[in-house]
Amino acid sequence: MEAHRKFSEWAVSQGVEINGIAAHRFPGRGLGIIAQRNFEAGETIVVVPISALRTAQTVPKRISRAIGKITVHGLLAAELTLDTTLDHALWSDVLPTREDIAETMPLMWDSSLQSLLPEASKVTVSKLKSKLSLDWAAVSKAFPDISYDDYLYHWLIINTRTFYFLIPKAKKRPPHLDCLAQSPFADYFNHAAHGCKVAFDDTGYEISTDRPYEKGSEIYISYGNHSNDLLLAEYGFILEENHWDEITLDSYIVPMLSEKQKLHLEEAGFLGKYILDKEVVCHRTQVVLRIFCLPIRRWKRFVDGLDDGDADQAVVDISLLSILQQYENDATKMLASLPNINSGLPSQREILSRRWKQIHNLLQATIKRMQK
Ligand X SMILES: C[S@@+](CC[C@H](N)C(=O)[O-])C[C@H]1O[C@@H](n2cnc3c(N)ncnc32)[C@H](O)[C@@H]1O
Chain positions contacting ligand X, by CB under 6 A = 28-32, 96, 104, 160-161, 187-188, 190-191, 235-237, 239
Residues 227, 247 contacting (CB under 8 angstroms): yes
DSSP 189-210: PEEEEEEEEEEEETTEEEEE-S
Instruction: For the chain, give percent helix, strand, coil, nearest 5.
Output: 55, 15, 30
Task: Give 56 or 233: the residue with its C-beta nearer to ligand X.
Answer: 233
Residues 158, 182 contacting (CB under 8 angstroms): yes
Task: Give 233 or 271: the residue with its C-beta nearer to ligand X.
Answer: 233
The CB-of-31 to ligand X minimum distance in angstroms stands at 4
Q: Which residue is nearest to ligand X (CB)?
A: 30
The CB-of-25 to ligand X minimum distance in angstroms stands at 8
The CB-of-188 to ligand X minimum distance in angstroms stands at 5
The CB-of-4 to ligand X minimum distance in angstroms stands at 9
Residues 195, 32 contacting (CB under 8 angstroms): no
Task: Give 20 or 30: the residue with its C-beta nearer to ligand X.
Answer: 30
Task: Give 226 or 264: the residue with its C-beta nearer to ligand X.
Answer: 226
> Quick one: which H or E segment has residue 275?
strand 275-277
Task: Give 29 or 273: the residue with its C-beta nearer to ligand X.
Answer: 29
Nearest CA to 321 out of 278, 257, 358, 364 is that of 364
The CB-of-203 to ligand X minimum distance in angstroms stands at 22
Q: Which residues contact 32 (CB under 8 A, 6 or more apart)?
A: 23, 24, 25, 26, 188, 189, 190, 218, 219, 220
The CB-of-96 to ligand X minimum distance in angstroms stands at 5
Task: Give 233 or 331: the residue with its C-beta nearer to ligand X.
Answer: 233
CA geometry: angle 128, 166, 179, nearest 5 deg: 5
Task: Give 114 or 286: the residue with its C-beta nearer to ligand X.
Answer: 114
Tally of CB atoms within 10 A around 216: 11
The CB-of-95 to ligand X minimum distance in angstroms stands at 7
